[in-house]
Homo-oligomer: A and B are copies of this chain.
Amino acid sequence: MVKITDVARHAGVSPSTVSYALSGKRPISEETRQRIEASIRELGYRPHAGARALASSRSNVLALVVPLRAGIHVPVVMQFAVSVVTAARRHDHDVLLLTQEEGEEGLRRVADTALVDALIVMDVQLHDPRLPLLRALDRPSVLIGFPAGPAGLTCIDLDFKAAGELCVERLARLGHRVVALVGSPPEVYVRGTAFAQRVVEGFTAAADRGGLASSVHPCEASPAAARRVAEQLLREQPALTGVVVHNEPVLEPLIDAFGQLGLRVPVDLSVTAICPDELAENVRVPVTSVAIPSTEVGARAVELLMKKLGGTDVPEATLLAPRLTERASTAPRTLTP
């Protein structure tokens, strides 16, 4: 293994000079720097991560805690993880993958052993048991999602409430007066996943504001459940013409079910969704949707963390404005005379 002393000897300088040339923490003459860089290349030098971490008390590793639970859409998680890794690399950091399963103990472990410098936590619950720990930890963290009491924490997410509102407003502007929300599986609400609830809030608020009749229907992530919900909607709200879907796996089955029940999208029924663009585009009828900007959230989370590591203050809350893309699943309400 080639070490910093080898480089130093080869370049005719002291090890500390090599270190400073690498870190830029002290001025080094252009000429010396060139010589050092040449030696590094020639010898193929790579600083030892452990030694560096020990001496500098910085590991240049971020922890990313991913959820495993039922009812969350896996591709979104993956896309998010990839964007975190990519963003982290831009800042010369790596990413350690932790599962939710490890829980608080896992967070404490990687933080206390100085394995990581900072943490990103996904799938935050309204009353997440990890919150006190994250507040107490000496390492900065960023949460994806908003808990009930976000004070003292840094949180970022799509503004799901605004997303819910946006979907309803879109339908209202198209003339729809009776709308329904097909939401996440019941267990997601039961455990208090913030984003699911916020969609409901936004949906309901916008419907009330606009004087629309509305209802909310949690739905299991199966085609059969989708079918049941479709039947129920028809039975209970025969005047229904607008549906908002916030449940990825059910989007396509639901549209199919409506079709089989004699409701054509968008002729008889307009559908909007909150889901990844990729999904919205690949349904039989491309769906007007608010995108889940996982890539942007991931990148922004890393930026926030880097600022915090650098000692800069960052806002406690970052809400990304929803953007709705018009596709083929929405149309003005057909007025029945």
A residues contacting B by CB (< 8 A) are: 44, 46-54, 57, 59, 61, 64, 66, 68, 74-75, 77-79, 81-82, 85-86, 89, 94-99, 101-102, 109-110, 112-115, 222-223, 249, 282, 284
Contacts and interface: CB of A to CB of B under 8 A. Distances in A.
A294 to B, nearest CB: 12
A49 B114 contact: yes
A93 to B, nearest CB: 11
A64 B52 CA distance: 22
Contact of A223 (B78, B110, B284): B284
Contact of A99 (B44, B82, B115): B82
B89 A102 contact: yes
A222 to B, nearest CB: 6
A57, A68, A85, A102: which has the most chain B beta carbons within 10 Å? Answer: A85
Nearest to A2: B112
A204 B249 CA distance: 34
Of A59, A61, A97, A249, which is in contact with the most chain B CB atoms at under 10 Å from its CB? A97
Contacts of A74: 74-75, 78-79
Contact of A46 (B77, B109, B222): B109
Contact of A49 (B85, B98, B115): B115
Contacts of A98: 85, 94
Contacts of A68: 82
A99 B112 contact: no
A152 to B, nearest CB: 22
Contacts of A97: 64, 81, 85, 94-97
B101 A282 contact: no
B46 A50 contact: no
8 contacts: A46-B113, A49-B114, A51-B54, A61-B115, A68-B82, A74-B78, A95-B96, A249-B282
Contact of A86 (B59, B78, B99): B99
Given A49-B114, A50-B114, A97-B97, 20 more contacts: A46-B109, A47-B113, A48-B54, A48-B113, A49-B53, A50-B57, A53-B54, A54-B54, A61-B115, A64-B97, A66-B82, A74-B74, A74-B78, A85-B98, A85-B99, A86-B99, A94-B115, A95-B96, A95-B97, A222-B282
A113 B2 CA distance: 10
A327 to B, nearest CB: 15
* 6 A-B pairs with least C-beta separation: A50-B53, A46-B112, A50-B54, A49-B115, A49-B113, A74-B75
